[in-house]
Amino acid sequence: MKPTWPLLALTLLQGLSVGLASVAAVLLLAHPVDFRLVFVSQSAALITGGLGGISSFFHMHRLAAGKYVMRRLKTSWLSREALSTGVYTVVVGLSVLSYLIRMPEAVWAAFSLAAAVLGIAAVYITAMLYATIRAMRSWHSPLTVLMFFGAAAVSGTSWAWGIAGIMHKVVLGLDTTLGIALAITAVLKILQIRHFRETEHLVMSSTGTGLSQKPYRVLDTGTTRPPYRHQTQIWPTLTLAQRIWGYGTMTVLMWGIPVIALILRTDSVFHIIAAAGVGLGLIFERWMFFGDATHSSRVWFADEPKRASQVVY
């Protein structure tokens, strides 16, 4: 699928925001509580979440149609995504506001916990929006949901670690949590890349679309301009060199740099480097998530080497 910057920004910034909000909620349970660190983390979550939500509007072909987005809450993951992301951002804003106007600590903690819970739900809904697309064979897998959560955990924890470094704060266990998140996410990404390669070979002219529904039929509206669902989702298949470059850069930035920073961690500058590395690495990770995916319509539009048919007549 052709990567588009609004979707890249939405999924990346939403995960980062939810990760920061979740870490902030956990920090409120620590003793003693560093209120300033929690506030700065929540403020960063509000800014990144707001920017991600705004970027999603640029994905619509007609902004005037935005008023109809939430009309299908019972059946559409897209409608649920718009609602959950909006509600989450509002609650994060309320948690920041409750600190600024000096509301009781219990109220602030309640808003913070609610923001974390709603954020986790929003990430799940966004991931399901992609995982339930049966025609996009690369995404139709539980790995999509797990990787969305993994990206949120790594980005949120690394940025919280970076913010703590900038503020010269030491948060016990945060570096260990980051290391665990990096390890788990690395395993998930390896499994997802393997799944991408399997689905690429599943959708071919000799094997079919990879979908079970048959027979297929073509819908024709009889108009001169086909609707969006008829437009091919084909993006030119990435070459081996492009995959090595993309996944290699992602690995160095998202895992290599943070691991080195965790080993050294003799100065706050390593905290900042780790956060920057994860952020840049996630840009490559998300770009490859879209650019390296295989859609079932590829069987009609993609160029393939000649292979003997496996269909028995």
Choice between 147 and 63, residue whose per-residue pLDDT is larger: 147
Q: Is 202 exposed, middle or buried (0-12, 13-18, 19+ CB in 10 A)?
A: middle
- pLDDT value at residue 75: 83
Choice between 50 and 209, residue whose per-residue pLDDT is larger: 50
pLDDT digits (tens, 9 = 90+) for 243-253: 999 999 999 99
Percent of the chain, pLDDT > 90? 54
The superfamily in CATH containing domain 5-58+67-211+234-301 is Formate dehydrogenase/DMSO reductase domain (1.20.1630.10)
Domain definitions of the chain by residue range:
5-58+67-211+234-301
- pLDDT value at residue 42: 94
3-state secondary structure string across 99-154: HHCCCCHHHHHHHHHHHHHHHHHHHHHHHHHHHCCCCECCCCCHHHHHHHHHHHHH
Place of tokens 């990206």: 151
SS3 (DSSP) at 204: strand
pTM, full prediction = 0.88
Residue 100 pLDDT exceeds 60: yes
> Which range among 121-125, 222-226, 307-311 has the greatest average pLDDT?
121-125
pLDDT digits (tens, 9 = 90+) for 3-13: 788 889 999 99
Contact 166, 37 (CB under 8 A): no
- pLDDT value at residue 305: 58
- pLDDT value at residue 313: 42
Contact 130, 136 (CB under 8 A): yes
Residue 231: pLDDT band with limits 50, 70, 90 = low
Instruction: Determine the length of the chain.
Output: 313
Residue 49 pLDDT exceeds 60: yes
Residue 312 pLDDT exceeds 60: no
